[in-house]
């Protein structure tokens, strides 16, 4: 199969649901291949890692965005993403990232352990109560979504009663992160972005009137003190992106990872017996079925990578999910193996755009998986899981499970309370 044909397949609904066979078709052309004029597809781990760190490559800037989408400024979704740290280059990216980084420092995240654990146990108790008659429950709706959304909303200062609003809005908005988007899909993304922006406009007003100890207040005060450090558009865009990125990828990590564990019962039993194994499990789950499958970069100068010259102005489509299964890096990469040494997946990226919330996502996963397996020894899939037709953010629409007979809660031995976990 020619590289261009494989790329077309990857972007199709079928290819998006299960991209891994298509990744191998693309890999057969080499770790870097020019699939279309000026578009280079990267499947190799060292090549993707190198390009993510190379300062000659960056995200799409306004000038190039004008060429690709001339009317992007009229799109609430595109404007929200473009004005955030997610889609800006240094020095603007560095300036904005520094303003939010304190909320995600290792020390701050370590201090959240007990709060995250308590939220996870509360959600699990409620899910067990809903399943008392043996009926299936949706572990995404009842656990994998509300846990990370509760954590990020607490950081941002979003009232608890408003949290159920965000799943649909964020799900709609993230369509704009796909490598291809139709006019109809963009309209849906714009509606989600508009709802989110309207919500945060009201929250900003509320925080000006009544400051609180949260990230929203901190960013509002930075903007009000010096609009050059953080403009109004940047304030809104970063609040939207911090919320969406703060739970969307972690929800997918929890859902994708749980399916993998349920399909590998011996590995699940080993983790159930020894929660201290969980850091390695989470890294292997991130590698095996990454919640973020791709990102893009544009070169500002000629770059040689993977034996090819990428001219200035080239676009690199970095397939993180493929890089995480590069056989040059990982022995038997199609096999889930939590005993693997030195995994270091690229699921959170690398370089200046390395995921700001990676430590928080790891903490939530390292607490959630042992808790679910210990409290629910008979946990099982109730129906075949159905993937969303998304490629960039890979996850399930719903995940129906049966809980069986739960084990008694043991608050004295909290899940994930062991050496090696942040």
| Residues constituting the chain | 422
Cα gap 188→147, rounded to integer Å:
25
Predicted confidence pLDDT, tens digits, the chain (422 residues)? 899 999 999 999 999 999 999 999 999 999 999 999 999 999 999 999 999 999 999 998 888 888 888 888 899 999 989 999 999 999 999 999 999 999 999 999 999 999 999 999 999 999 999 998 889 999 999 999 999 999 999 999 999 999 888 889 999 999 999 988 889 999 999 999 999 999 999 999 999 999 999 999 999 999 999 988 999 999 999 999 999 988 899 999 999 999 999 999 999 999 999 999 999 999 999 999 999 999 999 999 999 999 999 999 999 999 999 999 999 999 999 999 999 987 899 999 999 999 999 999 999 999 999 999 999 999 999 999 999 999 999 999 999 999 999 998 875 544 445 434 44
> Which residue, 354, 373, 374, is CA-closest to 362?
354
SS3 assignment, position 340: coil
Q: Give the tens place of pLDDT for each residue, 157-205.
A: 999 999 888 889 999 999 999 988 889 999 999 999 999 999 999 999 9
> Which residue, 375, 319, 330, 231, is CA-closest to 49?
319
Give the DSSP letter string of 344-377: --STT--GGGS-TTHHHHHHHHHHHHHHHHHH-T
User: Residue 201 carries which DSSP code?
Assistant: H
Cα gap 68→342, rounded to integer Å:
39
SS3 assignment, position 385: coil
Q: Provide CB contacts within 8 A for 13, sequence distance 6+.
A: 389
Cis peptide before 91 (omega within 30 of 0): yes
SS3 assignment, position 55: coil
Cα gap 255→235, rounded to integer Å:
31
Cα gap 9→19, rounded to integer Å:
9
């Amino acid at each position: 199969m020619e590289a261009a044909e494989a790329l077309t397949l990857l972007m199709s609904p079928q290819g998006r649901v299960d991209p891994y066979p298509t990744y191998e078709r693309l890999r057969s052309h080499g770790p870097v291949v020019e699939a279309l004029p000026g578009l280079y597809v990267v499947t190799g781990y060292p090549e993707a890692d190198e390009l993510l760190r190379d300062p000659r490559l960056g995200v799409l800037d306004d000038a190039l965005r004008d060429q690709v989408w001339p009317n992007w400024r009229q799109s609430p979704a595109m404007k929200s993403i473009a004005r955030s740290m997610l889609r800006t280059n240094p020095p603007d990216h560095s300036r904005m990232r520094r303003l939010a980084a304190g909320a995600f420092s290792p020390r701050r995240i370590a201090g959240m352990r007990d709060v995250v654990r308590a939220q996870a146990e509360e959600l699990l108790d409620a899910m067990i109560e809903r399943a008392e008659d043996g009926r299936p429950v949706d572990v995404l709706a009842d656990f994998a979504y509300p846990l990370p959304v509760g954590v990020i909303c607490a950081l941002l200062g979003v009232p608890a009663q408003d949290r159920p609003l965000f799943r649909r809005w964020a799900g709609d908005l993230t369509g704009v992160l796909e490598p291809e988007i139709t006019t109809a899909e963009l309209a849906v993304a714009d509606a989600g972005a508009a709802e989110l922006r309207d919500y945060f406009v009201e929250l900003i007003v509320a925080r000006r009137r009544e400051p609180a100890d949260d990230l929203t207040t901190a960013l509002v005060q930075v903007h009000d003190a010096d609009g050059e450090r953080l403009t109004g558009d940047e304030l809104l865009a970063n609040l939207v992106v911090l919320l969406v990125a703060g739970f969307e990828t972690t929800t997918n990590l929890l859902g994708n990872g749980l399916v993998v564990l349920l399909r590998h019962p011996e590995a699940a039993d080993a983790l159930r017996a020894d929660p201290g194994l969980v850091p390695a499990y989470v890294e292997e789950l991130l590698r095996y079925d990454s919640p973020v499958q791709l990102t893009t970069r544009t070169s500002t100068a000629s770059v040689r990578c993977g034996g090819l010259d990428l001219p200035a102005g080239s676009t690199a489509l970095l397939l993180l999910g493929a890089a995480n299964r590069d056989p040059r890096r990982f022995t038997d990469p199609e096999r889930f193996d939590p005993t693997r040494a030195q995994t270091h997946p690229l699921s959170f990226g690398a370089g200046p755009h390395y995921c700001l919330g990676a430590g928080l996502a790891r903490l939530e996963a390292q607490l959630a998986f042992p808790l679910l397996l210990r409290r629910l020894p008979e946990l099982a899939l109730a129906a075949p899981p159905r993937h969303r037709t998304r490629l960039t953010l890979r996850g399930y629409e719903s995940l129906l499970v049966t809980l069986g007979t739960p084990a008694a809660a043991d608050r004295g031995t909290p899940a994930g309370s062991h050496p090696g976990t942040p």
